[in-house]
Structures are given as C-alpha cells and as structure tokens.
Structure 1
Amino acid sequence: MEVELRHLRAFVTVVARRTFTAASRELLITQPALSRTVQQLEEAVGTRLLDRTPHGVELTETGGELFERLSGVLRDLDAALAAAGGHAGLRVGFQWALPDPWTSDLLGAFETATGARVTLLRRDDIVAALHSGDVDAALVRGDVHASGITGTLLFEEDRLAAVPAGSPLTAGDELNWSELSAHPLVVNTVSGATSPGDWPPGKQPARVVECGSYDEWLAIIAAGRGIGSTTTSAAQAHTHARVTYLPLRDAPQVALHLLWPTRRTSDPLLRRFRELAHSLA
C-alpha cells in the first residue's frame, strides 16, 4: 500500500492528542475510520507504531522515532503551504487566562507589523504541544524546564488570594502571604502558578487539595473546601459569585514566559513576536 499524507497526519494527530477520540474530533472523521488509517500506515511500514492503553495511546520505539521525524516534516509542509497561499501565521499556546489588554496589544502589533495571523490555542500540556509542533510558541506562567525548549522572561504579575465568599478571611481588606499556609490550599497541579514549594520549609501548607484545571480550582474554592492564589489578570478574567479575591502582602510574583522550540529560534516570525512581546512588557 502506498503511504499518503492522510496516513501521516492521522498518526501524528493521534499521538499529539493522546487518544483516538480527541484526534477523531480534530480531524473530523469517525474513530473506526481513524483506526483503519493508522493501521494502514502500520501495515505499510511493516511494524506496530502505537499501543492502546486504558489512558490512551503509547508510542512503540519505532513509533517514537517516526513521530519525531514526521512532526518537523509536516510542520514545514504546513508552513510552506501557508506561505504559498499568503496565509502565514503563528500558533501561540496558553494554559489559562492571559493578561489583558497586554495580550490584545501584542497580537494587534504583531499582525500589523508582519501581516501574519496569530491563533491562540489553549493547551494543558504546553511542552507536549511545543514538541509536537501543535503550537509554534507559548505564553506560560511559572518556570518550565524541558529539553529542546527555549524561553525568555517577559514580566511578572502580582498575586491575589482567592477565598470562599462569606469566609471570615473576607472581613479584612487584604491578606498576608504567610496566612495562606494556615488553611487548606487548593492547587492546580497541571497548569497552576502556586504550589506548596512557594513557602519556605517548615511553613508550607499542612493540607493541599489538588485539582487538574483552573475551572476545577475555582469550583473547589467556591465550595468552601480551601483557599488559593492566582494572578491579578486571571482573577479579572475568571470571576465567580462565591469567590472573593483579596490583595496579598509579601507574595512572590508570578513570572510570564514566552517559550518556543529551540530548533526554531531563528524563525523570522517567532523572532519578531519575541521582539514585540519584550517591547510591550
């Protein structure tokens, strides 16, 4: 069987999305059809590329090697087609609420300066999205250390405390950072900017309530199961009738970084986006 572009895109999308269900939604085909397409590719190369697991898919050794090569090939192909059609653009990933109006000003300045379009894509696993080529760059809070990823600090944001409405803590106008550790701390372990390690040893929160997204984090605090900390821009973007935000004294700031694949450091569009991001920071 001759390998076609659809086989390669199907395989790369399944790996990037981690499940056939998510990949089929993105590719707008049924799961059975997607499975057949990946199986056809495996038959063509003569070996298994993916293993199904209860949690999704895992790459075989051969599958991992093929995915690494194909990601760059397909990304370059898409870029070439976009440039040929006059639709060059930049895909910028993010995990949760971006600071505004800074983000809007940056996107507007970039599109005016380059004529290229920016697409914002929400992704929980930013490192995976950068490695797979799903996004070209990413705006991320906190520190990220990963092989093949380069980053630069743009600026730092102040924090606010998030407490259940009606809590005795809302009686004051503000809280001290050290006060938060005396209460159950709600932590978004996937993309949050707060962790017990933000407090010195011996002064860390005795109880931590973990969750996996910003929406879950907000709902848990609203239910009165703990308190948390977030950035001022996120608090402005995500309000909740049962959550009160209070200023925090002596709280460490949250860094906003721009990340990109090291292999694409010389990309002219990425370079211009970095320059504008710094100039507006």
Structure 2
Amino acid sequence: MSIELHHLRGFLALAEEKHFTRAAKRMNVSQPTLSRNIQRLEELLGRRLLERTTRQVHLTPDGESLHEQLRFLIPRLEAVLRPEAGDDTFRVGFAWGFPTDWPQEVIAGFEEETGTSVRVHRHDAQLAGVDSGDTDLAILRGRIVAPDVEIVPLLHERRVAAVSTRSDLAGREEIGWQEIANLGLVINEVSGTTDLTDWPADNQPTVSAVCRNFDEWLEAVAANKGVGVVPEFVGRQHIHSFVSFLTIPDAPRVPLNLVYSRHGAHPLISRFVAMAQAAVGEGSSTSAER
C-alpha cells in the first residue's frame, strides 16, 4: 500500500469542506488534482469514501469512519513533522572576525526559507565548537586539518600587516611578505590565520608574542610587541586607535571555509552551504576572490 500524506490531507480537507473547489483551494492544488488524489486513495483502500453529486459531496460510512480518525491523527502528525518555529536552532560558530557582508544575507534567507532560527556565537577554539557538538557549522579562516569534518572553501582573502602606531613601520602604506620574515611576529595560536609555516623554512620570522584569542593578539600588537598578520577586512574596521594596517601586495591569501561534522550533521547543512556559495558567487568583495 502506497498511501501518501497528501492523499490523507486532501481527503480530510474535502470531508470538512464538502466541496471540491473549496477543498482544492485550501490544499493549494487544482480541482482535477484533488479529484485524482481522492480516487487514488479509494483505490488503495479498496473502499468508496464519497458519494458524489453535481453539487455536493457526501461521505459514505467508510468515509465517515476514516474522517473521524484522521481529524485527530493528521494534526498530531503535522505537529510532529513541523515543530513550532523556534523549537529548532541552526548554530553557526566562529572563532573571531565574523564576516560583515554575505552571512547576514544568507542567514536572513535561510530563516525565511526554512523557518529555522539561526544563532551565531563565538568559540575561541580551532574548530569553533564543531568538534565538540556546540555548533552545527563554523565559518573559519586559514588552513584546517582535522579528522571527521567537511571543509568547504568559499573564497580567499587578502592579508594586511598590523603594527603599533608607535612602531617605526606605522608611517608606511605597505610591506613585503619576506620583509616581515625579518621582524618579530605576534601569533594567535588558537584561532589565528598566520603562523611560521606560511614562510619558507629557511626564512621565517621570530615569534615575539603568543596569544590565545583575537583580543589578546590585538592588544599585543598595540603594545608594540611585534607585527601581526590578518585578513584585510580587519584593517577596514578601524578596530583599535593604537593599531595601523599596511597592505602586503605579495602575501599568500587566506582561505575562508565552512566547516561541519561528517557525523550527525544538521539536516539543513547542505541548504545553508548552497546558499552561502550562491551569495559569495554573486557578490565577492574587492578584498576576496573565489
């Protein structure tokens, strides 16, 4: 027996409306489609459910019995299949520097299309809570090597150098990538996007300060502990009065990725990923390239 939910919903609407046109409008289908669905339901059950006349629809005793059961069962089933808005939340994590353009568009469209609320929250961890189950998907920058996660690259961002306004470099507009190798580097070892391996093994910067989150990193740069390297969007935000930013024309670009678990992933992961890819593809900024 291959009775489907739309067969039962159509019968319930018709049993309550007692009129094919009104029932079809309620179901948002054409009248011929509703008629075929009811006929198919009768064939699958092997029972006549309706007595049809030119103007009215009457239920047979079998139809009355089925209607009596379905008028309680269908609403309960639909409540299970479509929980109230807010019952489910899609959790998007980030370690630092949440993008300020395409995610807002994607989140708004995702919530409208799926009815699922999106909650964005920061985790100062390498995978921003994906590995611990605290987030369903994370927006992360840099090279990511981790077992049991899917990594979807979205775009690549330019880098800039962050220097203290007290530094001798503060008056410059740009700096070369290999020039940084001769300087002390401030590193965020947990959620940063730059480390010594970005330079050749025989020409790497010295580490002048090690931090565990973005705020610590920023204050270390402001205190003139060394030079920091971050994606270009950070420099456009004017985030600290004692930090200046220099372009690095020849710097390798930073990948920005969507990351999620391969096991037990949220059922709407693919929808969010597809919407993000479409948004980035339609409007990449001047600081990024696909």
Query: TM-score range with shorter-chain normalisation?
Result: 0.5 to 0.7
In 2, distance between residues paired with 1:174 and 1:242? Answer: 17
TM-score relative to the length of structure 1 = 0.67
Structure 1 residues 243 and 102, CA gap change in structure 2 (3 angstroms): same
Report the CA distance between 1:239 and its aligned residue. 1.0
Give the equivalent residue in structure 2 for 1:213.
213
> Cα distance 1:271–1:193, how it changes in 2: closer, same or farther (>3 A)?
same
Partner of 1:271: 270
1:179 partner SS: helix
Aligned equivalents of 1:201, 1:230: Cα separation in 2: 20
1:154 corresponding residue in structure 2: 154
Kindly tell me: are residues 268 and 105 of structure 1, through their superposed partners in 2, closer, same or farther at Cα, counting changes over 3 Å?
A: same
The 1:120–1:81 alpha-carbon spacing in structure 2 relative to 1, beyond 3 Å, is farther
Q: In the TM superposition, what are the counterparts of 1:1-281 in structure 2 within 5 Å?
A: 84-87=83-86, 88-127=88-127, 129-237=129-237, 239-264=239-264, 267-281=266-280
Residue identity matched to 1:188: N
Residue 285 of structure 2: aligned partner? none
Q: Do 2:85 and 2:115's aligned partners in 1 also have CA atoms closer than 8 Å?
A: no
Q: Is the 8 Å Cα contact of residues 162 and 246 (structure 1) preserved in structure 2? A: yes
Contact 1:188-1:211 within 8 A present in 2 as well: yes
Letter in structure 1 aligned against 2:278: S
- Segment drifting more, 194-203 vs 161-170: 161-170
Q: 1:154 is matched by which residue type in structure 2?
A: L
Listed one character per residue, the Cα deviations across residues 139-190 of structure 1 (whole Å, up to 9, x for unaligned) are 1111222222111101111111100113221232211111111111000000
Mapped to 1, the partners of 2:82 and 2:199 lie a distance apart of 48
Q: CA RMSD in A?
A: 2.1
Give the 3 Å change call, closer, same or farther, for CA 82–123 of structure 1 in structure 2: farther
User: Counterpart amino acid of 1:163?
Assistant: V
1:135, 1:99 → 2: CA distance? 17
**2:169 match: secondary structure:** helix
Q: Distance in 2 between matches of 1:128 and 1:219?
A: 22
CA distance in 1, matches of 2:94, 2:178: 29
Q: How many angstroms apart in 1 are the aligned matches of 2:238 and 2:193?
A: 15
Question: Would you say the 8 A contact 2:85–2:117 is kept in 1?
Answer: no
Q: Which has the higher helix share?
A: 1
1:83 to partner: Cα distance: 5.5
4+ long deviations beyond 6 Å: none
Report the TM-score when normalising by structure 2. Answer: 0.65
Question: Are the counterparts in 2 of residues 98 and 233 from structure 1 also a CA contact under 8 Å?
Answer: no
Asked if the contact 1:150/1:259 (under 8 Å) is kept, the reply is yes
Question: Unmatched 5+ residue regions in structure 1?
Answer: 1-79
Post-superposition offset of 1:128: 7.3
> Conserved in 2, the CA contact under 8 Å of 1:164 and 1:222?
yes
Any conservation in 1 of the 2:95–2:140 contact (CA below 8 Å)?
Answer: yes
- Give the total of aligned pairs: 201
Residue 204 of structure 2: SS of its match in structure 1?
coil
Whole-Å separation in 1 of the counterparts to 2:204 and 2:95: 26
Change (3 A) 1:86 1:252: same
Call closer, same or farther: CA 1:170–1:269 in 2, change over 3 Å.
same
Does structure 2 conserve the Cα–Cα contact (< 8 Å) formed by 1:98 and 1:234? no
Contact 2:93/2:138, CA 8 A, preserved across alignment: yes
Matched-pair contact (CA < 8 Å) for 2:180–2:205:
yes
Q: Which amino acid aligns with 2:279?
A: L
* SS, match of residue 259 in structure 2: strand
Residue deviations 1:78-122 (CA, integer Å, cap 9, x gap): xx9995233232101100011211221221222222222110011
Whole-Å Cα distance in 2 between the matches of residues 81 and 145 of structure 1?
A: 39
Name the aligned partner's letter for residue 163 of structure 2: V
Q: How far apart, CA to CA, are the structure 1 residues paired with 2:81 and 2:163? A: 47
Q: 1:126 to 1:119 in 2, by over 3 A?
A: farther
The farther-off stretch of 162-171 and 215-224 is: 162-171
Q: State the AA in 1 paired with 2:210.
A: E
Q: Deviations over 1:36-80 (max 9, x none)?
A: xxxxxxxxxxxxxxxxxxxxxxxxxxxxxxxxxxxxxxxxxxxx9
